[in-house]
A and B are shown apart, each in its own frame.
Chain A
Amino acid sequence: MLKVVGDVLDKPVFDRSGRPIGRADGITMSIVDGQPPRLESVVLGPAALAERVSRRLGSWVATWERRLGFAGADPVALPFTRIEVKPLHLEADVAAADTGLVALEQKIQRWLARIPGSR
């Protein structure tokens, strides 16, 4: 049986090419009467992470992400059907660049490319 806390939540998440895209900052579940709870998606992103600490902090982080103009500002929810749970990490059947989760990384990469000795 899968343990949400322990096997999924807070595990590192890699895209299909093995690139790290973050950690499982949150999850969404559906609850239908008479049925066991169902894990719908794994949620990633600073706002989802901040929401774990407090709801107000989560909305504050989301607001600032939008103001700073980062693509994919809202938390990114990856359907659990596209997630494979590995012993040490989660593997998502997505490309990092399509999710918006690496927008900041890409922006910094462009800045770093201008510095001499960049590799």
Chain B
Amino acid sequence: MGKITSLILGVVTSIGGFVEAGSISTSAQAGAEFGFSLLWAIALAALIVAMLSEMTGRVACVSRRSMAAAVRERFGVPFQLVPLAGELSIDAVLLTAELGGAAIALKMLTGIAFPWWVVPVGAAAWLVLWLGGFGVIEDGIGLLGLVTLSFVVAAYWLHPSATEVVRGFLPQLPADNRVRYAFLAVGIVGATVSPYLLNFYSSGIIEEKLGEPELWINRTTAYGGMGLGSVVSMGVLITAAVVLKPAGVQVDSYESAAVMFEPVFGAWGTALFAASLGVGCFGAAVEIALNAAYAVAQSLGWSWGADKPRRQAARFTAVFSLMLLLAVIVGVLGFDPLQLTQIALALTVVLMPAVVLPFLVLVNNPAFVRRHTSGPIGNVALAALTIAGALMAIVVIPLELMGG
């Protein structure tokens, strides 16, 4: 495949793979409760995830090491244990939430209760991983995910006030419900800057055999893909702000969020929302299960790779199979996927410094990136944002749980 084709496909699939349970639910809740005023949080989260993706990709291109492998080699096992255990815990909760989200999408289409769909969805995810190579998993699911652009179409057709939309990009504290507002801002960042996304991205760079001469592809994919992908999340927020907020609809379930498509797509609204939710969550579930296998196998030095025959990478295969099995068992018990998503997002932001800060060290170490070290502005900004986000999460999450 030509480099330009690879680049275009990378950007397009990043857009298609951007939204999933976390981003749909937090953006919908933010729009329904606070109108456009949390658009800045999506833009900020997209900037952070683009910067981090570019960094993980740069390390992978230059050193041929994924994020998990590089952290182990630079910091050793006792240190790596914290981010790895944190990442796997978040992966487990988020994977259950994504399977649940896809199952709820099928419930919307069929009327059959969602726990019944968890096993078929989990089995389908496992089949994709069992039979598909990296191209099928990454590009196939990313292209299917373009159905989520329906959120952008809906936002456009609803003709929101341009002035109010622009004002939403300026951080502002609301007159009341400030804790809830801060909680949703933290949730939006947590939904976007998932550790799984970063290690998956760096593993993808190695799977696709990108090297130092392809750093420009990495940069364009990271900033272009994540930037354009965030437009889909903004589409969810704007649609919810225009449709759900005036109607006083609170997004306490995915079904209540589905109403947002009705003014634009009419009778097809629920089906289109279900398709967007289902494809987004299913794609994320496949990527999360695969990422757990990447992280464990790379940390322990096992054979790994989505393009390898599964028996040749047997332990890698066993990890994604066990992760899916665990998530299916928890999912069948009927835990609310929306609540699981919020737990995963809170955990993500609290643990983010443990994931991000070591990486800032790596990306400034010539042993890993040669002359491609980061500039001081990016380093300081990213470190400050990460620590500020975690501190905010530590303050806001207990307050929110105690009822504001």
* Residues of chain A at the chain B interface (Cβ within 8 Å): 5-6, 9-13, 19-23, 25, 49, 52-53, 88, 104-106, 108-109, 112-113, 115, 117-119
Interface members, chain B 297-341 (any A CB < 8 Å): 299-303, 309-311, 314-315, 317-318
**A104 CA / B302 CA spacing, docked (Å):** 11
Bound-complex Cα distance A53 to B367 (A)? 25
- In the complex, which of the residues A12, A49, A106 has the most CB atoms of chain B within 10 Å of its own CB atom? A12
Chain A residues with Cβ under 8 A from B69's Cβ? 12
Most chain A CB within 10 A, of B69, B77, B78, B317, is at B77
* A104 to B311 alpha-carbon distance, docked (Å): 12
Query: In this complex, what residue of A is CB-closest to B76?
Result: A10
Shortest beta-carbon contacts, A-B, top 4: A23-B301, A108-B314, A22-B301, A12-B301
In angstroms, Cα B299 to Cα A53, docked, is: 14
Are the C-beta atoms of B311 and A118 separated by less than 8 Å?
yes
Q: Are B77 and A52 in contact (CB under 8 A)?
A: yes
* Contacts A12-B69, A104-B315 given; does A20 touch B76 at CB 8 Å: no
B115-144 interface bits toward A, Cβ cutoff 8 Å, 1 = contact, 0 = none: 000000000000000110000000000000
B268 to A: closest C-beta gap in Å: 36
CB distance from B70 to the nearest CB of A (A): 10
Contacts of A13 in B (CB 8 A): 301
Residue B72 interfacial (CB < 8 Å): yes
Q: Contacts A12-B69, A88-B64, A117-B130 known; A22 to B314 CB distance under 8 Å? A: no
Contact A49 B300 (CB under 8 A): yes
Interface size class of B (residues with CB under 8 A): 20 to 34
CB-defined contacts of A20 to chain B, threshold 8 Å: 301-303
Which residues of B in the span 268-313 have a Cβ within 8 Å of any Cβ on A? 299-303, 309-311
Rounded to whole angstroms, the CA-CA distance of A22 and B311 in the bound complex is 17
A53 to B84, CA, bound (A): 14
**Nearest CB on A from B207, distance (A):** 15
Task: State whether the Cβ of B385 lies closer than 8 Å to any Cβ in chain A.
Answer: no
Contacts of B64 in A (CB 8 A): 88
Q: How far is the CB of A1 from chain B (nearest CB, A)?
A: 15
B81 at the interface (CB under 8 A from A): yes
- In the assembled complex, the Cα of A49 lies from the Cα of B78 at a distance in Å of 9
Chain B's nearest CB lies how many Å from the CB of A8? Answer: 11
Task: Give me 23 A-to-B residue pairs in the complex whose CB atoms sit less than 8 angstroms apart, sorted by A's number.
Answer: A6-B367, A10-B73, A10-B76, A12-B301, A13-B301, A20-B301, A22-B301, A23-B72, A23-B299, A25-B77, A52-B77, A52-B78, A53-B77, A88-B63, A105-B302, A105-B303, A105-B315, A106-B314, A108-B314, A112-B311, A112-B314, A115-B130, A117-B131
In the complex, the answer to whether B314 meets A109 with C-beta atoms within 8 Å is: yes
Q: Which residues of B contact A49 (CB under 8 A)?
A: 77, 300
Q: Give chain B residues whose Cβ lies under 8 Å from the Cβ of A104.
A: 315
> Nearest A residue to B367 by beta-carbon distance?
A6
Tell which of B303, B310, B311, B367 has the most Cβ of chain A within 10 Å. Answer: B311
**A110 smallest CB distance to B (angstroms):** 9
Report whether A119 and B311 are in contact in the complex, using a CB–CB cutoff of 8 Å: yes
Using Cβ atoms and an 8 Å threshold, which residues of chain B touch A25?
77
B314 engages A10 (CB within 8 Å): no
Q: Which residues of A contact B314 (CB under 8 A)?
A: 105-106, 108-109, 112
Rounded to whole angstroms, the CA-CA distance of A69 and B309 in the bound complex is 27
Q: How distant is the Cα of A108 from the Cα of B130 in the complex, in angstroms? A: 14
Provide the residues of chain B in CB contact with A115, threshold 8 Å: 130
Closest to A25 in B: B77
Task: List 6 additional A-B contacts (Cβ < 8 Å) besides A10-B77, A53-B77, A119-B311.
Answer: A10-B72, A11-B73, A22-B302, A49-B77, A88-B64, A112-B310
Chain A residues within 8 Å of B367, by CB: 6
Contacts of B301 in A (CB 8 A): 12-13, 20-23
A108/B73 in contact, CB under 8 A? no
Output the least CB separation between B8 and chain A (Å): 30
Q: Say whether, besides A109-B311, A117-B131, A52 and B300 are in contact (CB < 8 Å).
A: no
